[in-house]
């Protein structure tokens, strides 16, 4: 199985979906708990949700493997992105529910984590780096859009119900003030969904690492509350809800290209 699929588009927009994958290598799955083998913390169906982005000329990079194999949106040294708050690591051993990922004594060793980093993490980031460079060379700028989603209520990670749309720009460090203001305006212009900018989800490693607005690289993360396009218990995709949400996502992506 390939480590990722890359579609090269024609616009200065790259959509990265690092948590879309659900695949588990057999040797890893055999060591996991039954609940973890369901890969419940997947950003379910985001590649389907963002499929329309190709119509806008966007490039897209998507991995097939679950974040439980390696989390592509964590730093290679596994330093916490949210110090003092519950989170999960480079090779997660805890689910968002707080339950273990692995059977007792079956967690990956430091050597195994290093191997997963080289086999799964590094090729994705090498491709991401190269595609950003290609787009920037062609257009003089690039917008890196990080597409994510999560259950609307996850007590292990945050209090209460998450806003529907959670835009993150590393508190403005990964995106130009002008673009952030226009995206905020697009969110204020719709009435169907609650939203927050740089709330609990400010952007993960990819947004923070690659965003360089002074040099024409804007990086933005959108974390979606999953109940707006799917059933959070069965993981089923709900087409009517999704189509409604896609209209707002499309408006945001079109704003980045304006």
Q: What is the pLDDT along the chain (258 residues), one digit of tens a residue?
A: 899 999 999 999 999 999 999 999 999 999 999 999 999 999 999 999 999 999 999 999 999 999 999 999 999 986 655 545 546 689 999 999 999 999 999 999 999 999 999 999 999 999 999 999 999 999 999 999 999 999 999 888 888 999 999 999 999 999 999 999 999 999 999 999 999 999 988 999 999 999 999 999 999 999 999 999 999 999 999 999 999 999 999 999 999 999
* Residues of the domain holding 99: 5-257
pTM beyond 0.85: the answer is: yes
The string of DSSP letters for 132-199 reads: HHHHHHHHS-EEEEEEEEE-S--TTT-SSPPPSEEEESTTTTSS-HHHHHHHHHHHHT--SS-EEESS
The pLDDT of residue 159 is 87
The pLDDT of residue 155 is 83
CATH number at residue 244: 3.40.630.40
Query: How many structural domains compose the chain?
Result: 1
Question: What is the rounded distance in angstroms from the CA atom of residue 54 to the CA atom of residue 36?
Answer: 32
Report the run of H or E that residue 205 belongs to, with start and end: helix 205-210
The pLDDT of residue 89 is 82
Report the run of H or E that residue 13 belongs to, with start and end: strand 13-16
The pLDDT of residue 88 is 66
């Amino acid at each position: 199985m390939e480590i990722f699929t890359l579609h090269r588009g024609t616009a200065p927009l790259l959509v990265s979906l690092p948590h879309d994958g659900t695949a588990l290598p057999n040797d890893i799955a055999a060591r996991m708990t039954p609940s973890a083998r369901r890969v419940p913390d997947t950003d379910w169906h985001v590649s389907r949700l963002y499929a329309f982005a190709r119509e806008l000329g966007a490039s897209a990079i998507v991995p097939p493997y679950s974040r439980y194999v390696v989390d592509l949106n964590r730093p290679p040294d596994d330093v916490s992105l949210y110090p003092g708050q519950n989170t999960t690591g480079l090779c997660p051993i805890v689910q968002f529910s707080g339950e273990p990922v692995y059977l007792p004594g079956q967690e990956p060793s430091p050597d195994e984590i290093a191997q997963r980093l080289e086999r799964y993490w590094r090729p994705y980031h090498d491709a991401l780096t190269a595609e950003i460079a290609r787009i920037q060379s062609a257009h003089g700028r690039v917008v890196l859009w990080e597409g994510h989603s999560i259950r609307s209520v996850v007590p292990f990670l945050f209090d209460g119900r998450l806003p529907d749309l959670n835009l993150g720009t590393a508190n403005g460090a990964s995106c130009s003030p002008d673009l952030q203001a226009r995206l905020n305006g697009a969110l204020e212009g719709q009435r169907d969904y609650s939203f927050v900018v740089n709330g609990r989800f400010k952007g993960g490693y990819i947004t923070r690492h690659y965003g360089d607005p002074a040099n024409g690289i804007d990086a933005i993360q959108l974390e979606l509350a999953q109940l707006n396009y799917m059933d959070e218990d069965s993981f089923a995709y709900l087409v009517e809800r999704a189509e409604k949400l896609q209209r707002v996502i499309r408006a945001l992506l079109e704003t980045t290209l304006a």
